[in-house]
Amino acid sequence: MSDLKDGEPEDRIINEPMSEALSKRYLAYALSTITARALPDVRDGLKPVQRRILYGMRVLRLDPEGGYRKCAKIVGDVMGNFHPHGDSSIYDTLVRLAQDFTVRYPLVDGQGNFGNIDGDSAAAYRYTEARMTVAAELLLDGLSEDAVDFRANYAENDEEPVVLPAGFPNLLANGASGIAVGMATSIPPHNAAEVIDAARLLIEKPKATTAELMDFVKGPDFPTGGIIVEPYESMLDAYETGRGSFRMRARWETEDTGRGTYQIVVTEIPYQVQKSRLLEKLGELIEAKKVPLLDDVRDESAEDVRLVLVPRSKTIEPDVLMESLFKVCDLETRFSLNMNVLHNGAPQVMGLKDVLQAYLEHRREVVVRRAQHRLDKIEKRLHLLDGYLKAFLNIDEVIRIIRTEDEPKPVLMETFSLTDVQAEAILNLRLRALRKLEEMEIRGEHKKLTEEREQLVLLLGSTRRQWTKVSKELKAARDAFDPDSELGRRRATFSDVKEVDLAAALEASKPKEPITVVLSQQGWIRGMKGHGLDTSSVKFKDGDELYLVEEVMSTDKLILMSSDGRSFTMAADKLPGGRGHGEPIRLTIDLEDSVDIIAMFRFEPERKRVMASSTGYGFVVDEKELESNRKAGKSAVNTGKGHLVCCPVVEGDMLAVVGTNKKMLIFPLSDLPEMARGKGNKVQAYSGKAELKDLITFDKRDGLIVMTGGRHRAFPEWKDWKGQRAQAGKVVPKGFPRSGTFTG
């Protein structure tokens, strides 16, 4: 109570729960955002700010044939009379409506700097001028003929239209985008002539399907052109449901530069892609060596877009180069379709047919209201003309009454059965209008208006005539968007995606050089050029030494297996160079300090390997299952409470395993299952603290051969150790390597 000012009533304090107060106010804000800011009306395709700008320009009489006015004047009038939300929001919208690379059919004809496709902003509104375009005039046509309802403006000292008459389907022609509270809208622009043709089909055939409408509306038509590569079935589903997306690509061509070389010229880029940012991205990709087929990019644009892409080699196919770029930059994008619009004042997601039907119903209402407005004016004019004719037929008596009577009006009304309006009009006639010629003109006008009235009465009484009128008006509007004109021609075309083996092309484009991969005991890795290197001369950090080495080619991939059963994949050409000590392996892959690398080998997807853990379990796996693109690797072996011991290549049909208890067991490799990942089956049984030490495979025709003392040694009596899988085995034979492994 202490917060109340003197004389302030206590009943102004409202007690209500905080959650309820917040929900009420947030709901009010959400509804305001949805209906009065973010979503377009299905009838004219405009948001309130766009509609107010066009109406404000009409009030200022900025017709297409008239002169330009400063945008500052337009913004000021719109803000002062209709849109009290700040000048920046109004001017930004005005600029967008004037940009021919943003709006398919500009509604504002701008003069001055209105920005460009590079993303540069427009000049301040004190420097720019504007007027309406023919398209905007079509949207406003009929506004003075009671075609739509008006409402009071925010200050209640003026009126503004609730919706525009919309002489063409602007929602689909120019598209829309906006984000409201909890919902959004995204509608691509279309070719106006195609949309009008589809609308006229719907008038003739109300039960037409979306597929039939798509015989005319083939897909979006972006102001910046480009190529749409979305399949027809996907577009049909999008237009039927009102939700989907359209995949679009830049338009390009090849130019011969002589001596067997060429360059690619991009002439159209996808809609809403800023050219400067696209160039910047391509430059970054070239610098980061993420586009190995591209050597350079240049911007040679003037008024038209011209981006020059230089291939790294003349042997690279243009289609392959472009496919590699489509995957990594905005030369290919997707434009989402979410046809969320205001219909009968509420947001609703509508399909193509529903949107066209809603628009046509609006146009029919406009036709009826304009006809009724015209009929009312004709009735009033005919009423006056009837009075004039009575006066001319009795002109001498009319003059006498006017000259002799003190109050001629009631006498005229009584003498000639005139209404108040007719008598007043006769009294206001000029003497010049009493000539015989004027009488003939009145009779001619009366006849003409009577005929027009009869047609209007027929129109208002027939739904079929009303639809015919709508169709004729749409046909007339189509002339403004003639497909043979520069404004009306289709800019975006359609194409299928060419099948290109990009992976093979990229592989072939890489330089193939021998590399020796060296991994140190402390986990430092490097790729040294050449094969057959003397590893004893390789230098390491103090306290470090050689751990693993593998000879590969620069085009190969490297697989590393960790003790916790994960597999990691590294590209050989991405390894640090041989100068210095390399880089810690843990900078490239996510490897905990408690986990070690136990194997490193060149990736050959056609090979098989045996995975064996210290717990004595194992299985056979295709090497292709070990490939991983994740920094955290791929879980390949469930090691349980143990760790991965070895993963030798399958080189025969028999398997030999030895434990830390120096017992060896041999059995057919076919006894182990082939799995993509998992724990596997028991390989050898152990007791106490014994566990699996090593494992190899061999061909029974060649026999068991192991490495001992740097030499190969055969054990012809290997069959004495042959048994069943999961048995304990027997003590290793004499001469078996002291290390307890098959590799010495």
**Which CATH number fits the domain that encloses residue 415?**
1.10.268.10
Residues 6 or more apart whose CB falls under 8 angstroms from that of 507 comprise 555
CA-based nearest residue to 445, from 393, 368, 383: 383
- State the pLDDT confidence band at 497, using cuts at 50, 70 and 90: confident
The alpha helices in 479-552, defined as continuous H runs, are 502-509
Residue 360 lies in a domain: yes
Residue 350 has pLDDT above 70, yes or no: yes
- Whether residues 636 and 670 share a domain: the answer is yes
Structure token pair of residue 316: 């690279």
Domain assignment present for residue 321? The answer is yes
Residue 6 has pLDDT above 70, yes or no: no
**Percent of the chain having pLDDT more than 90?**
73
Contacts of 153 (CB under 8 A, 6+ apart): 81, 82, 159, 160
Picking from 330, 347, 382, the residue at the C-terminal end of a domain is: 330
Are residue 291 and residue 425 in the same domain, yes or no? no
DSSP symbol at 660: T
Where residue 1 falls among pLDDT bands split at 50, 70, 90? very low
Exactly one of 26, 68, 91, 127 is catalytic; name it: 127
Question: What residues make up the domain containing 160?
Answer: 33-166
Kindly indicate the confidence band of residue 338, based on its pLDDT and cuts at 50, 70 and 90.
Answer: very high
| Among the ranges given (235-244, 357-366, 442-451), the one the predictor scored with the smallest mean pLDDT | 442-451
Q: Is 630 within the bounds of a domain? A: yes
Does 502 have pLDDT greater than 80?
Answer: no
Say if residue 567 is in the same domain as residue 694.
yes
Average pLDDT over residues 324-332: 92
Whether residues 534 and 682 share a domain: the answer is yes
Integer angstrom CA distances of residue 198 from 210, 213, 357, 730? 10, 5, 10, 85
The reply to whether 575 and 674 lie within a common domain is yes
* 172 within a domain of the structure (yes/no): no
pLDDT at 307: 96
pLDDT over threshold 90, residue 264: yes
Residues 359 and 324 in one domain: no
Residue 230 has pLDDT above 80, yes or no: yes
Q: Mean pLDDT throughout 329-356?
A: 94
Burial of residue 621 (number of CB atoms within 10 Å: 0-12, 13-18, 19+): buried
Q: Which residue has the higher pLDDT, 9 or 673?
A: 673
- Give the tens place of pLDDT for each residue, 192-226: 999 999 999 999 999 999 999 999 999 999 999 99
User: Which band of pLDDT confidence, cut at 50, 70 and 90, is reported for residue 24?
Assistant: confident
One domain, residues 425 and 565: no
Q: What is the 3-state secondary structure (H, E, C) of 566-634?
A: EEEEEEHHHCCECCCCCEEHHHCCCCCCCCCEEEEEECCCCCEEEEEECCCEEEEEEHHHHCCCCCCCE
> Distance between CA 579 and CA 509 in Å, rounded?
25
Which structure tokens are listed for 91?
Answer: 């001017």
Q: Which of 516, 710, 712, 544 is nearest to 602 (CA)?
A: 516
Give the pLDDT score at 95.
97
What is the pTM assigned to this prediction?
A: 0.72
Give the model confidence (pLDDT) of 54-82 as tens digits: 999 999 999 999 999 999 999 999 999 99
By DSSP bridging, strand 493-494 and strand 227-228 are parallel
Task: Check residue 2 and give its pLDDT.
Answer: 47
Domain co-membership, 325 together with 383: no
Higher pLDDT, residue 121 or 438: 121
Last residue of a domain, one of 122, 151, 166: 166
**Residue 267 scores a pLDDT above 80:** yes
Question: Closest Cα to residue 232, out of 215, 249, 250?
Answer: 215
The whole-number average pLDDT for the span 593-597 is 91
CB 407 within 8 A of CB 413: no
What residues are paired with 130 via a beta bridge?
A: 69, 110
| Residue 6, in any domain of the structure | no
Q: What type of residue is 711? A: R
What are the CB-based long-range contacts (under 8 Å, 24+) for 63-67?
63/131, 63/132, 63/137, 64/109, 64/131, 64/132, 64/133, 64/134, 64/136, 64/137, 66/131, 67/131
Structure tokens at 85: 């939300």
| Among 138, 166, 194, residue at a domain's last position | 166
Could you tell me how far CA 173 lies from the centroid of its own chain? 18
In a domain, 338, yes or no: no
Average pLDDT over residues 306-326: 90
Given a cut of 70, is residue 40 above it in pLDDT?
Answer: yes
What phi and psi, each to the nearest 5 degrees, are found at residue 69?
-125, 150
The answer to whether residue 395 sits within a structural domain is yes
Confidence at 436, pLDDT banded by 50, 70, 90: low
Q: Is the pLDDT of residue 434 over 80?
A: no
What is the reported pLDDT for 80? 94
pLDDT at position 719 over 70:
yes
CATH value at residue 41 = 3.90.199.10
pLDDT value for 392: 85
Q: Cα(716)–Cα(702) distance, rounded to whole angstroms? A: 9
Instruction: Verify that 294 and 410 share a domain, yes or no.
Output: no
pLDDT band at 348 (very low <50, low <70, confident <90, very high): very high
Which residue is it, tokens 């030490």? 693
Domain count, the chain: 4
The band of 510, judged by pLDDT with boundaries at 50, 70 and 90, is low
| Res. 378: pLDDT tops 70 | yes
Backbone angles phi, psi at 722, to 5 degrees: -75, 135
Percent of the chain topping pLDDT 70: 96
Within-domain flag for 419: yes
Can you read off the two tokens belonging to residue 430?
């000029």
Q: Between 258 and 70, where is the model more confident?
A: 70
Q: Are residues 554 and 475 in the same domain?
A: no
Give first-to-last CA distance, the chain, whole Å.
92
Helix (H) or strand (E) run with residue 655 in it? strand 654-659
563 and 437 co-located in one domain: no
- Identify whether residues 601 and 703 lie together within a single domain: yes
- Mean pLDDT value across the chain: 91
308 phi and psi, to 5 degrees? -100, 125
**Residue 214 · residue 240 · CB < 8 Å:** no
Model confidence pLDDT, tens digit, residues 126-178: 999 999 999 999 999 999 999 999 999 999 999 999 999 999 999 999 999 98
* Residue 127 is a catalytic residue: yes
